[in-house]
Amino acid sequence: MAKTLVFLEHHEGQIQKGSLGALAKAASAGDAHGVLVGSGVRSLADGVGTTVWVADDERLAAPLPQPRVDVLAKLVRDEGYDTVLFAQSVLAADVSAGLAARLEAGVNWGLVDFVGEQGRAPQLQDTVVVDVGWSTPVRIGVFRAGALDATALSGSSEVKDAAVELEDFSTSAEMVEQAHAEQQGPSIEDADVIVAGGRGLGEPEKFALAEELAKALGGAVAATRAVVDAGWYPYSAQVGQTGKTVSPKLYVALGISGAIQHKVGMQGSGTIVAINKDPNAPIFEFSDLGVVGDLHEIVPKLTELVRARRS
């Protein structure tokens, strides 16, 4: 049975949902503990529902990867963990890679399931899901964003102190500024409703159509890689193979052709609605509801109907 450590990433006083989902999945497969690393983070361990190691030190205040590698590497060695799991994020990518190098451990990326000594991950542009394993004594796995529900564990938390012993080179980097993306409403990772725009919108100003519909539905706005690359919308909103993976209850696609690269990022949505003037657009092949027509006429009317229904 695996003895698993889950990296509990936190932001603005909250543990990220993806990390809680990874912990719940690990707990279903064996003995799973969490680890919190930062400054002033001890209170976040309350209510997690399992043993939580806390490395609380002012030197860990900035979300830099190398000091976290130091903490996790020592904890794995001292406590005999054979598996370390992460939820996909920019920080998790850096920490997991550094930890793999430090421990000479194998890494499996993009997991959607984990059963102890084996994981499952989509391959070949998500056309197949394969069993993946490790050949190293320590296994490191990174779950795909949006792949797991953040199911809370039942039971009380046992908080333990994790030693903070930093290498000299780990303190060489200093964070001078941390930028925050301007955002209104929920993030695309957390939203139950997403309205996504593609090149079919015609021009960047037309993203106002997606924004107004998303606002009426209480959802978030996403974009395809094509419009992000064109500078129409921020990269943080990109859904797809090279963007984020989302699984909202409702996904409304405006002017999106439905290329496989976009499909892999949103095919887990509960209900997919596509509006496109091209009746042969690939997105209609996997949509639950397809509307063939001019989105510039349809979307404003749809937004009005939603507003009237909610008023």
**Segment 41-89, tens digit of pLDDT:** 999 998 898 999 999 999 999 999 999 999 999 999 999 999 999 998 8
**Segment 218-247, tens digit of pLDDT:** 999 999 999 999 999 988 899 987 788 888
**Which of helix, strand or coil describes residue 5?**
strand
DSSP-H helix ranges across 56-128: 65-79, 90-103
Taking the whole predicted model, whether its pTM rises above 0.85 is answered as no
The pairing of strands 193-197 and 83-87 is unpaired
**Segment 176-222, tens digit of pLDDT:** 887 665 555 678 887 899 999 999 999 999 999 999 999 999 999 99
3-state DSSP helix/strand/coil percent for the chain, to nearest 5?
Answer: 35, 25, 40
Look up residue 118 and give its amino acid: Q
**Segment 260-302, tens digit of pLDDT:** 889 988 988 999 999 999 999 999 999 999 999 999 999 999 9
Confidence check: pLDDT of 1 > 70? no
Domains of the chain: 3-171 (3.40.50.620), 193-310 (3.40.50.1220)
